[in-house]
Amino acid sequence: MDHDRYLCVVDVEATCWTDAPPPGQTNEIIEIGLTVVDTGTHERVSRHDILVRPERSTVSAFCTELTGLTQSEVDSGLTFAEACATLRREHHTDSRAWASWGDYDRKQFERQCAATTVRYPFGSRHTNAKKVFTEAHGLRKRPGMAQALDHAGLALEGRHHRGEDDAWNIAALVTTLMRADAWR
């Protein structure tokens, strides 16, 4: 398989609270959504969802309200180390270019890998899709994903703040940028 032909679009959900994390807890990835885009055809070719079991935090009621994910659901997920190994093994994330909406997802992986000594699952070819979209559309302010979909005339598919659905929607924005020859 030609790894340069495919782009991995990633969106994560992490444990979250209305205010600061409770004492002893920290933000941890609980869901990794991934959509593979064929850069030759500019089409979304597959979508994936990896639930991740948090080890240093719990899913708050606020987090469940936002994402729909419950503690019992993520308790059945992979460990963070297993999830990162799955990204490399099944989705070739260490050799494919990847994109996310903004830098939060990249930075969350960097923080969590450093805190847990888990091998970072991605290569160095990351694109901030929010930045590319903003520049391509001549916007002054970087929009959230839902606002960008609206601006592009695309419907939000699925549930906002679910990693699998958000990665799918971000990939829709990426493919429109590719078709307009605005992706770089």
Low-confidence ranges of the chain (pLDDT < 70): 1-3
For residues 148 and 154, give the distance between their C-alpha atoms in angstroms, rounded to a whole number: 8
- Side chain identity at 136, as an amino acid letter? A
Which residues contact residue 86 at a Cβ distance below 8 angstroms, ignoring those fewer than 6 apart? 50, 78
Q: What are phi and psi of 157, to 5 degrees?
A: -100, 130
Give the sheet arrangement for strand 29-38, strand by strand: 43-51, 29-38, 6-14, 97-100, 126-128
pLDDT given at position 3: 65
* Strand positions, DSSP E, 29-167: 29-38, 43-51, 97-100, 126-128
pLDDT digits (tens, 9 = 90+) for 43-78: 999 999 999 999 999 999 999 999 999 999 999 999
Residue 173 CB neighbours (<10 A): 25
Q: Of 25, 32, 24, 48, which is closest to residue 82 (Cα–Cα)?
A: 32
Looking up tokens 């990693």 gives 163
Reduce the DSSP state of residue 8 to 3 states and report it: strand
For residues 18 and 110, give the distance between their C-alpha atoms in angstroms, rounded to a whole number: 23
Pick the CATH number of 3-179 from 3.30.2270.10, 3.30.420.10, 2.115.10.20, 1.10.287.1060: 3.30.420.10
- Side chain identity at 9, as an amino acid letter? V
Helices 104-116 and 80-91: crossing angle in degrees, nearest 10, is 120
The residue extents of the domains of the chain are 3-179
